[in-house]
């Protein structure tokens, strides 16, 4: 990511601060710190005002911070979360509204900040302030995400010949993790989900020692990280011949996902996108078995804005990257989920996940 990209973001966040009457912004959530500054260290936070851009970090990261965040003045502090230093710094400047990220500041850090702030301004909680900006990706981000999706596709395809009944979920996850790392994934964005048989009814069943048998649905949900950006995909498959009910449920989920892929357009409300698939499942009597949202944004974090669910208020805009992952889960029977990652373009979504969707393998 070039320096220019970070400078642009700094300009945009200051515009946003101005629009919201915010005079100082303390940025403590690591993905947000990286997004605005380029700093990748695991300890550090930002203080932004209209005149200053400060990056506070400790001895271990001073040199790294200078190199990675040239637009910021680097301030050395002793402890990981010395928000007191930032509070004192802005105490007597006549600033009115001092904003903190409410979802990312512990009570201890909040009290530390508050007790060290001696000005007359008010402390304002902000929710999703930087995250809203992050939801719309620039070209460089889309390239990194596309590469993360490609690594995941390739890793999955490369393990297909190894899959056979009798292997455990952990074994499958291990092979996949190895191929992801060998293919260039910097780390795993989340623990690989492998849920077979009845366990496939667990939308987030991480791999267990359970042995996968013929005739059981297997859900595999995983991703890669490239250049700090995540990908996320799910495939469900079965060894041998599915029962008519298994086939029917698989086809229903696939048709639901295809409806989403072909119908979602920029400007659409996230909840309306969700409703297309939810309504279809309801018609077929499966509504109650689709217990999560249709999708979520992906970027520096594997779950970010926008939220495609019945409560999703935001509009789906061009250059947003999100998943489309309908699923049907029936307790005691099993489940099916199919997840692709897409980028919104002017005429609809472009699919970044290329792996085929055949139910039967082996
Ligand atoms: Zn997933
Ligand atoms: Zn997902």
Ligand closest to CA 296:
2
Q: What is the mean pLDDT of the chain?
A: 96
Q: Mean per-residue pLDDT for 338-351? A: 98
Residues of the chain with CATH 3.40.350.10: 3-134
pLDDT bucket at 92, cuts 50 / 70 / 90: confident
Q: Mean per-residue pLDDT for 35-47? A: 96
Would you state the pLDDT for residue 80? 64
Q: Residue 142: pLDDT above 70?
A: yes
228-269 per-position pLDDT tens digit: 999 999 999 999 999 999 999 999 999 999 999 999 999 999
For 112-175, the DSSP string reads: HHHHH--SS-EEEEESSHHHHHHTB--HHHHHHHHHHHHHHHHHHHHHGGG--TT-BHHHHHHH
Ligand closest to CA 324:
2
How many angstroms separate the alpha carbon of residue 37 from the centre of ligand 1?
Answer: 28
How many angstroms separate the alpha carbon of residue 169 from the centre of ligand 2?
Answer: 19
Residues of the chain with CATH 3.90.230.10: 139-361
Q: How far apart are the first and last CA of the chain?
A: 41
- Helix (H, G, I), strand (E, B), or coil: what is residue 288? helix
Domain range 139-361, its CATH number among 3.90.230.10, 3.30.720.200, 3.40.190.10, 3.40.1440.10: 3.90.230.10
8 A C-beta contact, residue 209 and residue 170: yes
How many angstroms separate the alpha carbon of residue 298 from the centre of ligand 2?
Answer: 8
How many angstroms separate the alpha carbon of residue 34 from the centre of ligand 2?
Answer: 22
Q: Domain 3-134 is classified in which CATH homologous superfamily?
A: Creatinase/prolidase N-terminal domain (3.40.350.10)
- Rounded to 10°, the helix 169-182/139-159 angle is 130
How many angstroms separate the alpha carbon of residue 295 from the centre of ligand 2?
Answer: 6
How many angstroms separate the alpha carbon of residue 322 from the centre of ligand 2?
Answer: 8
How many angstroms separate the alpha carbon of residue 223 from the centre of ligand 1?
Answer: 7
8 A C-beta contact, residue 149 and residue 234: no
Would you state the pLDDT for residue 237? 97
Would you state the pLDDT for residue 156? 98
Residue 158 to residue 136: CA distance in whole angstroms: 32
Q: Mean per-residue pLDDT for 305-328? A: 97
How many angstroms separate the alpha carbon of residue 127 from the centre of ligand 1?
Answer: 24
Would you state the pLDDT for residue 229? 98
List the strands of the sheet with 304-308, edge to edge. 304-308, 295-297, 321-324, 340-345, 348-351
For 250-265, the DSSP string reads: HHHHHHHHHHHHHH--
How many angstroms separate the alpha carbon of residue 4 from the centre of ligand 2?
Answer: 30
265-313 per-position pLDDT tens digit: 999 999 999 999 999 999 999 999 999 999 999 999 999 999 999 999 9
How many angstroms separate the alpha carbon of residue 326 from the centre of ligand 2?
Answer: 10
Would you state the pLDDT for residue 13? 97
Q: What percent of the chain has pLDDT over 70?
A: 99
Task: Please state the separation of Cα 56 from the chain's center in Å.
Answer: 26
Q: Indicate the pairing of strand 24-27 with strand 97-101.
A: parallel
8 A C-beta contact, residue 234 and residue 339: yes
């Amino acid at each position: 990511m070039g320096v220019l990209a970070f400078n642009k973001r700094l300009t945009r966040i200051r515009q946003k601060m101005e629009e919201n009457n915010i005079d100082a912004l303390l940025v403590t959530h690591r993905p947000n710190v990286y997004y605005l500054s380029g700093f990748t260290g695991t300890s550090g936070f930002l203080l932004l005002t209209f005149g200053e851009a400060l990056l506070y970090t400790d001895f271990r990261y001073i040199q790294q911070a200078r190199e990675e965040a040239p637009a910021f003045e680097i301030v050395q502090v002793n402890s990981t979360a010395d928000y007191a230093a930032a509070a004192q710094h802005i105490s007597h400047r006549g600033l009115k509204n001092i904003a903190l990220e409410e979802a990312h500041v512990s009570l201890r850090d909040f009290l530390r900040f508050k007790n060290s702030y001696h000005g007359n301004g008010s402390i304002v909680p902000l929710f999703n302030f930087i995250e809203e900006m992050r939801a719309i990706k620039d070209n460089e981000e889309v390239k990194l995400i596309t590469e993360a999706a490609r690594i995941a596709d390739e890793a999955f395809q490369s393990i297909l010949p190894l899959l056979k009944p009798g292997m455990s979920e952990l074994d499958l996850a291990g092979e996949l993790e190895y191929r992801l790392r060998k293919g260039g994934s910097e780390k795993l964005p989340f623990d690989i989900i492998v849920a077979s048989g009845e366990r496939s009814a667990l939308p987030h069943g991480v791999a267990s020692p359970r042995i996968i048998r013929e005739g059981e649905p297997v859900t595999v949900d995983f991703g890669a990280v490239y250049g700090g950006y995540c990908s996320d995909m799910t495939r469900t498959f079965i060894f041998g011949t599915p029962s008519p009910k298994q086939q029917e449920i698989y086809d229903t989920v696939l048709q639901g996902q295809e409806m989403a892929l072909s119908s979602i357009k920029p400007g659409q409300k996230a909840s309306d996108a969700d409703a297309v698939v939810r309504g279809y499942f309801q018609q077929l009597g499966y509504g109650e078995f689709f217990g999560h949202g249709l999708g979520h944004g992906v970027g520096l974090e594997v779950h970010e804005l926008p939220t495609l669910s019945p409560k999703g208020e935001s509009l789906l805009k061009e250059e947003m990257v999100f998943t489309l992952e309908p699923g049907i889960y029936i307790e005691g029977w099993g489940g099916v989920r199919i997840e692709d990652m897409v980028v919104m373009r002017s005429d609809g979504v472009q699919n970044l996940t290329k792996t085929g969707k055949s139910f039967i393998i082996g």
